[in-house]
Amino acid sequence: MTDSLGRIGAIAARIVRQFRRDPRTIALVFLAPALVMTLLGYVITEKTTPVTLGYADLDEGVLLGGTALRLGPLLRDLLADEGLEVRDYADAARLETDVRQADLRAAVIVPPDFTARVLAGEGFEGLRLLLEGSDPVLSADVARRFGAAVQALPRAALARLQTTAQPGVPPEVPADPTRLAPPGQPAVEYAHGGPDLGTLSYFAPGYVAFFAFFFTFLLTSVSFLRERSSGTMERLLASPVRRGEIVLGYLLGFGLFALLQSLIILLYAVYVLGVELAGSLASAFAVEALLVAVAVLMGIFFSFYARNEFQVIQFIPIVIIPQVVLSGFLTPLETMHEALRWLAHAMPMTYANRALRAVMIRGWDLGTVTADLAALAGFVLLFTALASRMIKRQVA
Amino acid sequence: MTSGAHGVRSSRPEDVVAAEGLFKSFGRTRALDGLSLTVRRGEKYGLVGPNGSGKTTLIRTVVGLIVPDSGTVRVFGERVPSAGVSKRVGYMTQAAALYEDLTVRENLRFFARLFGTGTGRRLSARVEETLELVDLADRGDSPVRTLSGGMRQRASLAAALIHEPELLLLDEPTVGVDPELRRALWDHFDRLNAQGRTFIISTHIMDEAERCDRVGFLRAGRLIAEGAPCSLRERAGSATLEEAYLWHAGRSDGGKTE
């Protein structure tokens, strides 16, 4: 038993020593994730430069109790409040041309009878939002902001009416105000996160899982492949070391680096990039540890199917990318085709992702994700057996 | 014929290796074809034969890296593979089989720990002793990748010697090694042999075979002749071992067609 631990320790220590001899790989493992996350943080941040919206206000307004009411300028203010940069156009035709020529991404044209129609209870008929349309994400964003501004319009109009009404002169509101102000807006509540939960915060658990898996899998694969191609595996197998001890030694050696990497990613994400962490770092770390173990074992297993380093690279599209696509990292599992969902559940990253999201975003404790942890533990056992068997097959 | 003859025979205490009726096929090629081999304690036994004659398969089978389709291998009276046996066996291949990015000393320490060669000071002492033995004491802290071919080969030998094995199995240890270094390596082998270690060395260089106590001629997975180099030459009536090999090979082919 002590002999066995000694041998496992010797293999783990050797891996750590080899790592230390390779500063470039260390830099890659520890710094690359931070760099990539920073870049992604910039790319997917919500604070984009405002989209310019052309605005042709043809609204003639109506006279109410001696004061003119025009809803056009009111809508303009609301659009600006929504974060759109409004540029005024006098000529609606010119505005349409500009959008068609893609000089502008979006335009709003307010019809001459806008206020009259709204006050008559006819709603926003005639109001047009014109989208350039080549970028669906941007279009959807502008449409959402436009929708919000329009929703807010009746309430704002009512407020304006009340403040501008002359004392003593009852405002000749043609329609009753209840028709003007639609019934209360549905309240939106968030159980977790909230409207301020950044996209980066939402993706952070996925990134953490992905980086740990990606680097650990590739490095273990290459390292084990070298063990075979350089002949050192022959020496190991001719020594008293047992197959399981080789697997455990690798698990320990590479696991150590992978966990260090995970810790750096987590700390960097939370303290430098400001990713929200509702749960405890320790819980996230525990999930990571299991995922990393799976990555080491899969790395050993798959290395037997590669003859050289280049063939290890070929595992990226075969082993890693499907996991990224299907694990719920990019798109929610619920929206996937049923067959794909089945496939997703054959992948360790799916469980790690789910557990990490629960722990990091919802702040749940590990007790609530035992099913996911058990699945990961199952992968650990499965690939321990498979990896040991592959080493045994080496002994023909 | 003497001990090389087939037949049932209990292994004697002086037999370090006793392999009986080994068969092994890889796909459709038969690498070992009913081969039996006995190597006595303190012997330097040479396996001679062309590529594909089964030298490597035989050595890997004795080490326990290959499980034969049939037949048995006993080393020190114990069936292989066995952890107890592997502690007493040193194995060296033509590839250096060391961790390139680690120093010679680190490599030796690693293998010493795998073989349970003590700890702390005892382990260090053993590593230094082995470095001395292969004349690499001054290059102990060099990463293996910076070593010349000859030094690599000596470092590889050191790794095979680290646990003071009683039996050394060397698979073409001098392939690609210049004549001067080859002689130096063989001087090492002789010195270790004089300490009572048993050697099985495969080679296709006849000069090297001449330096063995006994030589086995391998052909198509079978031992076609065996004996001291001089007796093999005498039997064939030839001046060199090379001619002797061809003579014995011809005879074994003839025997087959009869």
CB A117 within 8 A of CB A71: no
Among all chains, which residue has been given the structure tokens 């890997």?
B60
Q: What is the pLDDT of residue A279?
A: 84
Question: Is residue A191, in this structure, part of any structural domain at all?
Answer: no
pLDDT digits (tens, 9 = 90+) for B135-193: 899 999 999 999 988 889 899 999 999 999 999 999 998 887 788 888 888 998 999 99
Contact B116, B86 (CB under 8 A): no
pLDDT at site A21 = 87
Closest CA to A13 of B153, B112, B155: B112
Interchain CB contact of B118 with A (< 8 Å)? no
Per-residue pLDDT of chain B (258 residues; tens, 9 = 90+): 444 444 444 556 678 999 999 999 998 889 999 999 999 999 999 999 988 899 999 999 999 999 999 999 999 999 988 888 889 999 998 888 999 999 999 999 999 999 988 778 899 999 999 999 888 999 999 999 999 888 898 999 999 999 999 999 999 988 877 888 888 889 989 999 999 999 999 998 888 999 999 999 999 999 999 999 999 999 989 888 989 999 998 888 765 443
- List for chain A the helix, strand, coil content (%; round to 5): 65, 5, 30
Residues of chain A with pLDDT under 70: 1, 43-49, 65, 164-197, 394-396
Can you tell me the distance from the alpha carbon of A363 to that of A355, in angstroms, rounded to the nearest whole number?
Answer: 11
Please indicate, yes or no, whether residues A114 and A209 belong to a single structural domain of this protein.
no
User: What is the per-residue pLDDT for B158?
Assistant: 94
Query: What percent of chain B lies above the pLDDT cut of 90?
Result: 61
Distance of alpha carbon A314 from its chain centroid, rounded?
26
Determine, yes or no, domain membership for A186: no
Pick from B14, B56, B7: which is nearest to B36 by CA?
B7
Residue B117: partners with Cβ closer than 8 Å, 6 or more residues away: B123, B126, B162, B163, B164
* Structural contact between residues A216 and A292, judged by C-beta atoms closer than 8 angstroms: yes
Q: What is the pLDDT of residues B72-86, one digit of tens each?
A: 999 999 998 888 888
Q: State both tokens at A293.
A: 């173990």
The whole-number pLDDT of residue A197 equals 67
Asked if residue B160 and residue B172 are part of one domain, the reply reads no
User: Chain A interface, mutation test: which of B110, B147, B163, most A Cβ atoms within 10 Å?
Assistant: B110
Q: Which of B106, B141, B164 is the last residue of a domain?
A: B164
Q: Are residues B217 and B241 in the same domain?
A: yes
Asked which of A152, A180, A208 is the last residue of a domain, the reply is A180
CATH number at residue B81: 3.40.50.300
SS3 A143: helix
Select from B129, B144, B164 the last residue of a domain.
B164
Q: Are residues B11 and B72 in the same domain?
A: yes
Q: Which two tokens stand for residue A5?
A: 């631990």
| Distance from C-alpha of B88 to C-alpha of A266, rounded to nearest angstrom | 48
Chain pair A-B, CB pairs under 8 angstroms = 77
Q: Which of B23, B105, B113 to mutate to test the interface with A (most CBs of A within 10 A)?
A: B113
Q: Is A14 in contact with B102 (Cβ distance < 8 A)?
A: yes
Shortest CA gap A251–chain B (Å)? 17
Domain's final residue, options A128, A154, A180: A180
Report CA-CA distances (Å) from A20 to A17, A151, B102, B191: 5, 60, 10, 38
Query: Could you tell me which residues come within 8 angstroms of residue A60 by beta carbon, excluding any fewer than 6 positions away?
Result: A70, A112, A113, A115, A116
Q: How far apart are CA B151 and CA A364, in angstroms?
A: 59
Give chain B positions within 8 Å (CB) of A9. 113
- Domain of B150, in residue numbers: 98-164
Domain that residue A85 falls in: 52-180
Predicted local distance difference test score (pLDDT) of residue A44: 65
Are residues A324 and A218 located together in one domain of the fold? Answer: yes
pLDDT value of residue B253 = 77
**Looking at A147, A180, A213, which one is the last position of a domain?**
A180
- Give me the pLDDT at residue A46, please: 54
Q: With CB atoms and an 8 Å threshold, state whether A239 touches B113.
A: no
pLDDT number for residue A187: 54
